[in-house]
Chains A and B, each alone.
Chain A
Amino acid sequence: AQSVSQHNHHVILSEAASLELGCNYSYGGTVNLFWYVQYPGQHLQLLLKYFSGDPLVKGIKGFEAEFIKSKFSFNLRKPSVQWSDTAEYFCAVMEEYKLIFGTGTRLQVFP
């Protein structure tokens, strides 16, 4: 079965800093990959997803992620974070329509 690793458990940044959150999945083949975000007190929301095609995927709120098949990675990036990006970020892979989540990365952005 697939597994997902998010190596950054807690990231602290100042506003305007660049962000990259790591995500690796365990084995290849055709994969559907997702990033979800959970803002404080809010429910889980889809940030972006990759199914096929252009490996650079753009999502909401200026986020993007790059699928690198050779590295089994799907890292999330944002060139300039804002205080409102403070949230928990989850990477997930779909296996037989089931979502398998990583452990999440807590991002804190300070003004």
Chain B
Amino acid sequence: SAVISQKPSRDICQRGTSLTIQCQVDSQVTMMFWYRQQPGQSLTLIATANQGSEATYESGFVIDKFPISRPNLTFSTLTVSNMSPEDSSIYLCSFGTTRDTQYFGPGTRLTVL
């Protein structure tokens, strides 16, 4: 099965700065997704990363805050912009080889001071 990796695994950032998280899958996949897991809470879908077109964002998430790129079928980035302490979370990417099952990366633990 495909292997998915994320970089960085964790980071500590200052308020007002931005961080770009990379997600790499070792084979071509149709669908890639970005989730957020806030402390003590469940996973919430941020957006679907569409190859060659703009990402599709869920309610409560906007492109200006979380710009996403998907330049090809194996790679995607999520940027957390103008960060505040409320953005401290684990950010996970996932991929789906079909419409039915998703596999998750190891996550990026972000702390904003």
Question: Can you offer 17 A-B residue contacts whose CB atoms are under 8 A?
Answer: A32-B100, A43-B92, A43-B105, A44-B43, A44-B104, A45-B104, A46-B101, A90-B43, A94-B100, A98-B48, A98-B58, A99-B35, A99-B43, A99-B102, A101-B42, A101-B43, A103-B42
- Determine the main DSSP class of B at the interface with A: strand
Known: A90-B42, A102-B42, A104-B42. A97 touches B31 (CB 8 A): yes
> In the complex the two chains form, what is the Cα distance from A55 to B99 in whole Å?
20
Chain B residues, Cβ within 8 Å of A94: 99-100
Within A70-111, the residues touching B (CB, 8 Å) are: 90, 94, 97-104
Chain B residues closer than 8 Å to A99, beta-carbon distance = 33, 35, 43, 45, 94, 102
Q: Determine if B41 is an interface residue (Cβ-Cβ < 8 Å).
A: yes
Check B61 for interface membership: any CB of A closer than 8 A: no
For chain B, give the interface size range. 20 to 34
**A51 adjacent to chain B (CB < 8 Å):** yes
B67: Cβ under 8 A from any A Cβ:
no
Q: How big is chain A's contact interface, by range?
A: 20 to 34
Q: Which of B35, B96, B107 contacts A97 (CB 8 A)?
A: B96
Q: In the complex, A36→B43 CA distance in Å? A: 11
Q: For A104, give the chain B residue with the smallest CB separation.
A: B42
| Chain A residue contacts of B107, Cβ below 8 A | 43-44
